[in-house]
A and B are shown apart, each in its own frame.
Chain A
Amino acid sequence: MARVAVLVKAAIDVNLMKADPQGNVLAQQTPLVIAEYDRNAVQAAVEIKGKLGGSVAAFSLASWGPVSAKKKEYENVMREVLAMGVDEAHVVLDDGYVDGTPLVTAEVMAALAGKLGGFDIYVTGEGSSDMVSSQLAPRLGALLGLPVVTFTKRIDIEDGGFKITRDLEDKLEVVHVDPPLVMSVTGEANQPRLPTLLQIRRAFVKPIKFYTAQDIGVKREAKIEQLAIKVLAQKRKNVIIDGSKPEEAAEVLIQRLTEEGVIIPGR
């Protein structure tokens, strides 16, 4: 039986970004969505629960404000997480923490974990899809004094511990680690199953608890100074290669990528 915590961020949906005519992103009006790799983290946590038994709790800290206006959106994100198989959700909603640095997030998460009695396994996404700081797992591990495994591509459970395959840039690294631990997963760690409306509805019986700074007790006010968030338009070439003969298509693709300078022959 394992007590699993999964750390989930409600990120601004980069696919639905709203911007003014000058290209300034209107973050407040952009809908929130579960951060991409955090969906993999939820899936991993639920799969670990499936193998070891126990329960999964989801933690989240509201990082886009104002929280009073966005509470429903945070709740919806957590409903999705619950529909994916998480048992309970804990959300910290406080404008004091909005725009906080990753250190604030880690401290809040650690405090929340302590408040709930601690967990055996902490899982989070490798980086959030809006800020991509990739700092949460290491910082949380440091605060809790636990081993940290990043870039998790594959999780095998053996001998009461975890055999984790890490996807590093030029190699795969296999490590063995016994819980308690903190791990962050990549987008390749699994194939998360998107929840249906029916599952979300069925998960309505599962609890979502909200907390304020007062409940958590973390007083640090380190804020990220936001100068601007801009939309960068990227023109795609949209080249379609006939895929009926895979070998030929691969040749064409290699040739095109070489022409573009993406592939440098001989390297």
Chain B
Amino acid sequence: MSSVNGVTAAISHFIFVKDLEPLVYISTIIAAIILCYGLYRAIKIWKMGQPIPWFDDLGRRIYYLFKYSIWQVKVRAHPLPGLIHTLIFWGTTILLIGTVLRAVESDITLKTISSRFLVGGVYLGYKLALNIGGIVLILGLILAYYRRIRGLTPNLPFGPRDHYMLISLLLIALTGFFLDSVNTLAYRMGWIGFFDPIGWSLALLYESQGLTYTSLITVYRAVWIFHMLLAVFSIGFLPFTKFFHIVAAGFFNIFYSRLEHPSAFKPISKIDEKVEKGEVLGAVKMSDLSWKQRMDFDACTECARCQNVCPAVASGKPLSPMLLIQSLKKLMYERGGDAPLASEDTVDPNIYWSCVTCGACVYECPAMIHHVETILDVRRGLVSAEGYVPEGLMQASYNIMRLGNPFGFNPDDKASWMQELSKRTGVPFAQPGEEYDYLYWIGCNTGFDPNIRPVAEALLTLLKRAGIKVALLAEETCCGEPARRIGDEFLFEETVKTVGDILSHYKFKSLLVNCPHGYNNFKHEYPLYGVKIDVVHHTQLLHQLLLEGKVKPREAKDLIVTYHDPCYLARWNDVLDEPRSLIKSTGAELIEMKNNGKRTFCCGGGGGHFFFDIKIGERISKLRAQQAAETGAKTIVVACPFCNAMLRSEAEAMGLKVVDVAQLLAGRSTGEDDI
């Protein structure tokens, strides 16, 4: 291997542009000032005077940085966009590290200890790595353009800000290769070879055209200035462009991601004190949100993943989670802390009311934004400050307050049906002092809807046969879940107190529910207000009993079914396998819908939507029932009374039956012969 002066290294730094060296320092200082100002401005607006806990739970936060920022598990959950992002991310990262190493050598080690480290084999490896970085970046950018031009990702923005991102990176990479090639032509031709594949190939091309490096110096100097200024100011202006996601999402929002369970929505602390003082509960203006919620707005990179999975978007409702977050970001910067979050001239309240709280957006978001928490916070603000609340929701809240159920049904109806249920199944009402394995919380939907009442009977029949000691609760009332989704936090908190008090009179190992909304509520939201109960969903219990051989499923070999994952069971709470295993235990053939598992599609009944309709666009329940019909199955198996009722309202017209997992298992004994 030959080299210049016997050294395999860059012949010198700033070759051909030595006179322009001060420009680097001047522009870097200016860019650094712009960057610092941008960061200061962003952090100041996130905080709005609130303290940010800098180092709580540091270990977990560093782990999250590795998992979501470096390893990017959520970004890569979508193959093509994941690949593109990985190529661009690693390409840019390699080039950035390369530039930093070069700067360290030229400005630190050389100047202080007259030492170079990018020499010999290290230098060759360094050149090769930078070549790979550049190639990978360009490839990523070409794919990114291809994806956008071909519209491979629906709703992906493709405006000047997006062109700027892609073109600036592309220009940095291309000009970088040009500068590299002229250097190679000047002094690396004899020895760099395949360690600088692009630079060397270009240099060979120049040679073949009879060009010498001296003839290229003027062009080189111009391109060098352009390359350097573009790179330096791209970083400087980062907080003002879409590149800000690198810092706002890649660092801040992931480092400070919520450590609570995703469906344990933010509680309101000292609620009684706030009520006494006449303060608003929830968020009415921008400053009422938390710093983390405002940081969410800056973290959004407009990747449209949330928008493309949102049932409100799919059904033509006013909400798009991405556009909401973008509107709030604009509002935050333009109007500051006093900006009303829901009003005619800011964000239409119906946008917040369109959310079914299914969490698809939260599950998909690679920037760890919690759209639903902000939506619920604004709903609370609307309820407590007497803003616009759909009439059906006011009625549901009123019904919970007055009658203990959101429908406005006579509580006596449920009580007398429970008496009959107890007689028919032999399951007693719980007595204080007596200890039970399970206390069965029937819930409002199952308890009042004559179509769903058989689910309770099927479940109790199975449990009786399995010899489980289970009891009913005579004082059962509303668990408060709809109140929390509606945003009536005060009613919710009072309900938790009431229910917590009722449950404290009985001894039981677990509270059994067949409603995933109740499950989520008891499991994640009750503890926020100090009531801790062990809770089990009926599919979990039945699955356990199946494994123990205590449940003998009826045979349903001739049945072809599809299973609808409830959002509050599958996505929010990871219960995916138990219901499927129960279905398969009957011998029934299970055909999955297009959206299944954690990527399920809402039935349209969540977030209070069971109690009112935004009469815009299509019914979400219809879209989901159509997905079920497309499987060719004739039966939709459900594990949630909300989904049961919503899908039932659509399924009949499509020739489909809806049954709960418990009914499928219990079969004939509960009169479900024709399932």
Contact = CB atoms under 8 A, between A and B. Distances in A.
A201 B275 CA distance: 8
A200 B410 CA distance: 22
Given A196-B488, A196-B490, A198-B491, A16 B398 contact: no
B403 interface: yes
Interface in A213-267: 242
A202 B275 contact: yes
Contacts of B273: none
B391 A198 contact: no
B640 to A, nearest CB: 23
B281 A194 contact: no
A191 interface: yes
Contacts of B401: 196-197, 200
A15 interface: yes
B491 A196 contact: yes
B490 A201 contact: yes
Nearest to B413: A16
Contacts of A201: 275, 490
Contacts of B281: 198
Contact of B383 (A16, A33, A196): A196
A15 B410 contact: yes
A197 B412 contact: no
Nearest to A242: B653
A106 B278 CA distance: 37
A154 interface: no
Interface in B110-158: none
A198 B488 contact: yes
A11 to B, nearest CB: 14
A195 interface: yes
A197 B397 CA distance: 9
B384 interface: yes
Interface centre among B384, B402, B408, B412 (most CB of A within 10 A): B402
B501 interface: no
Contact of B386 (A15, A199, A200): A199
A196 B403 contact: no
Contacts of B391: 191
A46 B72 CA distance: 56
B383 to A, nearest CB: 6
A75 to B, nearest CB: 14
A197 B491 contact: yes
B326 interface: no
B398 A198 contact: no
A193 B653 CA distance: 36
Interface string A8-33: 00000001101000000000000001
A15 B408 contact: yes
A16 B490 contact: no
A202 B398 contact: no
A234 to B, nearest CB: 16
Given A196-B488, A197-B401, A198-B281, A16 B394 contact: no
Interface in B461-518: 488, 490-491, 494
Contacts of B386: 193, 199
B573 interface: no
A64 to B, nearest CB: 17
Contacts of B402: 33
Contacts of B653: 242
Interface string A186-212: 000001011111111110000000000
B492 to A, nearest CB: 9
Contacts of A193: 386, 394
Nearest to A201: B275
B282 to A, nearest CB: 11
B397 A196 contact: yes
Given A15-B408, A15-B410, A191-B391, A198 B383 contact: yes
Contacts of A198: 275, 281, 383-384, 488, 490-491
A191 B394 CA distance: 12
B317 to A, nearest CB: 17
Contacts of A18: 412
Contacts of B410: 15-16
A196 B278 contact: no
Contacts of A191: 391
A193 to B, nearest CB: 7
Nearest to A200: B401
B106 interface: no
Nearest to B649: A240
A33 B410 CA distance: 13
A194 B278 contact: no
Contact of A194 (B275, B397, B403, B412): B397
Contacts of B595: none
A194 B398 contact: yes
A202 B275 CA distance: 7
A191 B395 CA distance: 12
Contacts of A199: 386
B278 A197 contact: no
B395 A16 contact: no
Contact of B395 (A194, A197, A200, A242): A194
A46 to B, nearest CB: 12
Contacts of A15: 408, 410
Interface in B449-471: none
A196 B495 CA distance: 13
Interface string B380-414: 00011010000100110110011100001011100
A18 B410 CA distance: 10
A193 B401 CA distance: 15
Contacts of B384: 196, 198
Given A15-B410, A16-B410, A196 B394 contact: yes
Contacts of A197: 397, 401, 488, 490-491, 494
Nearest to B618: A244
Interface string B555-578: 000000000000000000000000
A214 B278 CA distance: 38
B62 to A, nearest CB: 41
Nearest to B397: A196
Contacts of B383: 196, 198
B38 to A, nearest CB: 41
A196 B408 CA distance: 15
Interface in B398-440: 398, 401-403, 408, 410-412
A15 B386 CA distance: 27
Interface in B254-308: 275, 278, 281
A200 to B, nearest CB: 8
A191 B488 CA distance: 20
A4 to B, nearest CB: 20
Contacts of B398: 194-196
Contacts of A202: 275, 278
A199 B383 CA distance: 10
Contacts of B491: 196-198
Contacts of B494: 197
A242 B622 CA distance: 13
Nearest to A29: B412
A16 B403 contact: yes
A35 to B, nearest CB: 15
Nearest to B391: A191
A70 to B, nearest CB: 16
A202 B391 CA distance: 21
3 smallest CB-CB distances across A and B, nearest first, come from A198-B490, A194-B398, A197-B491
Interface of A: 15-16, 18, 33, 191, 193-202, 242
10 contacts: A15-B410, A33-B402, A194-B395, A196-B383, A196-B401, A196-B491, A198-B275, A199-B386, A202-B275, A242-B653
Given A191-B391, A198-B383, A198-B488, 7 more contacts: A15-B408, A15-B410, A33-B402, A193-B386, A197-B491, A198-B491, A200-B401
